[in-house]
Chain A
Amino acid sequence: MGALVQDTLEPDAFRKLYPDQYYARFVAEGLRPDGRPLLQARPTTIALGAVSAADSSALVKIGNTTVMAGIKLEVMVPVDERPQEGQVAVSVELTALCSPDARPGRFSEAAHCLNEQVSTALRSGGVVNLQNLLIAHGRAAWVAYLDLYVLDADGGLYDAALLAALAALAALRLPHVDVDDEGKVVPAGASDAAMVLEDADGQRLSAAGPAGPQPIAHLRVGSLPTALTCALYNGQLIVDPDRDEEARAHALVAVTVDDRGRLLGVEKQGGRAAADAAALQSCIAAARVRHREVASLLRQALHAATVPGYSGADS
């Protein structure tokens, strides 16, 4: 064993001194430093309901990258312009844990970008029909605060954040509620003496808690968008790069596809290499393959959590 340790030191030094060459040599062999072939994504797990204080939560890991999504439901008065719609408010935070550069407090550029990317994907995929969040026309609707926390940032943040957001939304259950004569929201079928969801201190009784209303409805999601980030490196396509590979890549292409085969977004933020049509097509094809993997993982997770959730495009 000791001899082996001695042997591994040489490549380590090479990696430290000539990181570019180290990586290029691997890619030329069709492998990556972590042992994956170029077109293989990292192992992915989806855990639902990790935090029971949230109305819905999901912990997604893609390799080391870890994103926690949690949804809190609150009641709001719909805005005047859209009296039949609720809201989904996305916010993303890169926690202090996730990388040595991240600092709490101020929103970093990366957090802002992720927020915009995830919101755009959810919107353009038509994931949530906002009218499903309505409680009473013009008087009450749910607002779903979707908070994403990046706990470990090791590349492919957008892929993981979108997956976590989607899983949390798909597992979200809406309590059945009514609006009483005074405009207050009460659990459906509850007597007048039943507790109001919002009491005077703004303390909300958890919908899932023991005292909460029992009947619930699942928020059916309209489609399942998933994303895959690919790196272009020396003319090669590298699927699902980790943080180190992202830094080394000549360009990154993130493709978002959904289960109806639609292309919801293609994003390439500049970079040293240009992507011609063939490269873009391979990225799209890779994203489709990845979608199948991830969507089946998600369905399994939802099934295990006994959430009927998504049942196809016809819903």
Chain B
Amino acid sequence: MQRDLDTLLSNSERNFILKALKEEQRIDGRRPFDYRKIQYQFPADEDGSATVQLGATRVMAVVTAALEAPFPDRPNEGSLRFNVELSPMASPAFEVGRPGEAALEAMRLLERALRDSRAVDLEALCVLVGQKVWHVRVDVHVLDHAGNLADAAGLAALAALMAFRRPEASVAPGGGGGGGGERGAVTLHAPDVREPLPLSLHHLPLAVTFGLFEGGEAVVLDPSLKEAAAAAGMLTVIATTHGEVCALHKPGGIGISLSQTMRLVRVACAKAAEVAEGLRAALRGHETARVARRVCRRGAQGADAGALLDDAAGAVAVVPGLGDPGRAAAAAGGAHLDALAGSSGARNGSGGALEPGGMDSSDAEEGSRTSARPGEPRKLPRAGLVAAAAVVGGARARQGPSSLPEQAPGDNFEAIAAMIAGAAQGRPHSGDALDLQAAVKPKSGKRAKVRKWQPLGT
């Protein structure tokens, strides 16, 4: 049946995996103690979400926080909750509905790694004792399941918690309001007023999973789906970067000797440090991009908003068939969509209108990568942060159709998007609208997510 899909393996495949392993070979070309390639993605414009790709396994974690009353038994602590959903998106073997055994196991593992090991300082989440604390929730979405969910989910959750920023909250002195309301007045500061705060993490626990074969003698790190199906058992070690072990998890399967276990724990500690280093580097890249954006936003605020308005008004895309032709023509350089949607030569026609001026395609390419994966460690573009941000915006705006052929295989269609959105040469197109938003109307520049945190009790 379909539901056995993930664990189904033919005998010859199993034998092949085992035989290759005897020669220290794995079917995807790795050595026994190699991780698959780990990639991190942090969305540029939000705090608290991370996508981790471990080979083809892809997991997204989203951190959200709400300021509410604490649990009565722990009045001076916030809380940390994990929710893992194995939706059919990741694998046809997963079913909709209540979390199954696998999801519960993954959830429990995250709790052991990040909450029970006291990795996150919950007392620091207290704003007003007994009244208001931060309840932090981590939703882990498995998007693609190609083996070793435990490590990928742990890494995604950790990355999201490290990238998470919460608005600063301050308590008004005096505390007592009117009448019987003894609730203190808690003020939340918008992110553009006070820098949002990161969570304080005492250590970085990482899950390292081994697949065990042949009575525990043969071992692979980071087993793929097929290896997991062939394995006789699994062992997950949760280790910190300082060589401490937070938890061991061995769900069933064959038993292994103590000496082998200790050997694997040592390997796990070394690997955890290695992986954490990559994670830190990715976060540094994300942090730089974040600062660059903030500086850009501040800079734009200082600039003449009126001028920007005029500039932006120069080019607009008009939805065809509704606006009158005169107005569309007035849109300087804007791709008129009637032309685009016209029967023949559509791309050539509009391409002419959008021919980029003065920027070669390699620059545009870099711009596109920057925008696509801000989380990747990368060199800072050009001098100064303000300039850097401007270049990013400019490059993105300028990629016309001419940069299409060089684009990464991710099928990033921003160029066509720009064409449709009607972005013109040299002006920021709507992809940057979020930055511009702050410039044009500073008060409404908050993101939707942020708007949930409104000042309380003021």
Chain A residues with CB under 8 Å of chain B are 80-81, 138-139, 181-183
Contacts of A183 on B, CB cut-off 8 Å? 179-180
A81 B181 Cβ-Cβ under 8 A: no
A139 B179 Cβ-Cβ under 8 A: yes
A138 B181 Cβ-Cβ under 8 A: yes
Sorted nearest first, the 5 A-B pairs with minimum C-beta distance are A183-B180, A80-B456, A81-B454, A80-B457, A139-B179
Interface-central residue, A80, A139, A181, by most chain B CB under 10 Å: A80
Interface residues of B in 18-71 (CB under 8 A from A): none
B233 → chain A closest CB, angstroms: 36
Q: How far is the CA of A106 from the CA of B305 in the complex (A)?
A: 54
A85 → chain B closest CB, angstroms: 14
Q: How far is the CA of A81 from the CA of B68 in the complex (A)?
A: 12
A139 B457 Cβ-Cβ under 8 A: no
- Of B181, B454, B456, which one neighbours A139 at CB under 8 angstroms? B181
Question: In chain B, what residue has the closest Cβ to A80?
Answer: B456
Contacts of B179 on A, CB cut-off 8 Å? 139, 183
For this complex, 13 residue pairs linking A to B, each with C-beta atoms less than 8 Å apart, are A80-B183, A80-B456, A80-B457, A81-B454, A81-B456, A138-B181, A139-B179, A139-B180, A139-B181, A181-B180, A182-B180, A183-B179, A183-B180
Q: How far is the CA of A207 from the CA of B181 in the complex (A)?
A: 26
A59 → chain B closest CB, angstroms: 33
Q: How far is the CA of A81 from the CA of B67 in the complex (A)?
A: 12
Contacts of B180 on A, CB cut-off 8 Å? 139, 181-183
Contacts of B454 on A, CB cut-off 8 Å? 81
Chain B residues with CB under 8 Å of chain A are 179-181, 183, 454, 456-457
**What number of residue pairs across chains A and B have CB atoms under 8 A from each other?**
13
Q: How far is the CA of A182 from the CA of B456 in the complex (A)?
A: 23
Q: How far is the CA of A183 from the CA of B180 in the complex (A)?
A: 7
Question: In chain A, what residue has the closest Cβ to B68?
Answer: A80
B63 → chain A closest CB, angstroms: 22
B448 → chain A closest CB, angstroms: 15
B88 → chain A closest CB, angstroms: 16
Q: How far is the CA of A195 from the CA of B255 in the complex (A)?
A: 67
Contacts of A80 on B, CB cut-off 8 Å? 183, 456-457
A210 → chain B closest CB, angstroms: 31
Contacts of B456 on A, CB cut-off 8 Å? 80-81
A70 → chain B closest CB, angstroms: 29
B87 → chain A closest CB, angstroms: 16
B31 → chain A closest CB, angstroms: 48
Q: How far is the CA of A80 from the CA of B128 in the complex (A)?
A: 15
Q: How far is the CA of A139 from the CA of B179 in the complex (A)?
A: 9
Using A80-B183, A80-B456, A182-B180 as known contacts, list a sample of 10 further A-B pairs with CB atoms less than 8 Å apart, ordered by residue number in A.
A80-B457, A81-B454, A81-B456, A138-B181, A139-B179, A139-B180, A139-B181, A181-B180, A183-B179, A183-B180
Question: In chain B, what residue has the closest Cβ to A136?
Answer: B179
A9 → chain B closest CB, angstroms: 44
Contacts of A138 on B, CB cut-off 8 Å? 181
Q: How far is the CA of A181 from the CA of B181 in the complex (A)?
A: 11
B336 → chain A closest CB, angstroms: 25
Q: How far is the CA of A138 from the CA of B183 in the complex (A)?
A: 11
Question: In chain B, what residue has the closest Cβ to A79?
Answer: B456
Question: In chain B, what residue has the closest Cβ to A184?
Answer: B180
B328 → chain A closest CB, angstroms: 24
Q: How far is the CA of A138 from the CA of B180 in the complex (A)?
A: 11
A135 → chain B closest CB, angstroms: 13
A212 → chain B closest CB, angstroms: 25
Contacts of B181 on A, CB cut-off 8 Å? 138-139
Question: In chain B, what residue has the closest Cβ to A83?
Answer: B457
Contacts of A181 on B, CB cut-off 8 Å? 180
Q: How far is the CA of A138 from the CA of B182 in the complex (A)?
A: 12
Contacts of B183 on A, CB cut-off 8 Å? 80
A224 → chain B closest CB, angstroms: 32
Q: How far is the CA of A310 from the CA of B181 in the complex (A)?
A: 36
Contacts of A182 on B, CB cut-off 8 Å? 180
A182 → chain B closest CB, angstroms: 7
A179 → chain B closest CB, angstroms: 9
Q: How far is the CA of A181 from the CA of B183 in the complex (A)?
A: 17
B178 → chain A closest CB, angstroms: 8
Q: How far is the CA of A80 from the CA of B454 in the complex (A)?
A: 10
B128 → chain A closest CB, angstroms: 12
Question: In chain A, what residue has the closest Cβ to B183?
Answer: A80
Q: How far is the CA of A126 from the CA of B44 in the complex (A)?
A: 38
A281 → chain B closest CB, angstroms: 19
A140 → chain B closest CB, angstroms: 11
Q: How far is the CA of A111 from the CA of B457 in the complex (A)?
A: 36
A90 → chain B closest CB, angstroms: 22
Question: In chain A, what residue has the closest Cβ to B457?
Answer: A80
Q: How far is the CA of A183 from the CA of B183 in the complex (A)?
A: 14
Q: How far is the CA of A80 from the CA of B184 in the complex (A)?
A: 11
Q: How far is the CA of A80 from the CA of B68 in the complex (A)?
A: 10
Q: How far is the CA of A139 from the CA of B177 in the complex (A)?
A: 12
A158 → chain B closest CB, angstroms: 24
Contacts of A139 on B, CB cut-off 8 Å? 179-181
A28 → chain B closest CB, angstroms: 37
Q: How far is the CA of A80 from the CA of B181 in the complex (A)?
A: 11
Question: In chain A, what residue has the closest Cβ to B67?
Answer: A80
Contacts of B457 on A, CB cut-off 8 Å? 80
A40 → chain B closest CB, angstroms: 38
Q: How far is the CA of A181 from the CA of B454 in the complex (A)?
A: 29
Q: How far is the CA of A139 from the CA of B180 in the complex (A)?
A: 9
A218 → chain B closest CB, angstroms: 29
A136 → chain B closest CB, angstroms: 9
A298 → chain B closest CB, angstroms: 37
Question: In chain B, what residue has the closest Cβ to A106?
Answer: B97
Q: How far is the CA of A182 from the CA of B179 in the complex (A)?
A: 9
Q: How far is the CA of A14 from the CA of B457 in the complex (A)?
A: 69
Q: How far is the CA of A31 from the CA of B344 in the complex (A)?
A: 49
Question: In chain A, what residue has the closest Cβ to B456?
Answer: A80
Q: How far is the CA of A186 from the CA of B163 in the complex (A)?
A: 49
B360 → chain A closest CB, angstroms: 46
Q: How far is the CA of A182 from the CA of B180 in the complex (A)?
A: 7
A106 → chain B closest CB, angstroms: 9
Q: How far is the CA of A182 from the CA of B457 in the complex (A)?
A: 20
Q: How far is the CA of A13 from the CA of B122 in the complex (A)?
A: 70
Question: In chain B, what residue has the closest Cβ to A81?
Answer: B454
Interface-central residue, B179, B454, B456, B457, by most chain A CB under 10 Å: B179
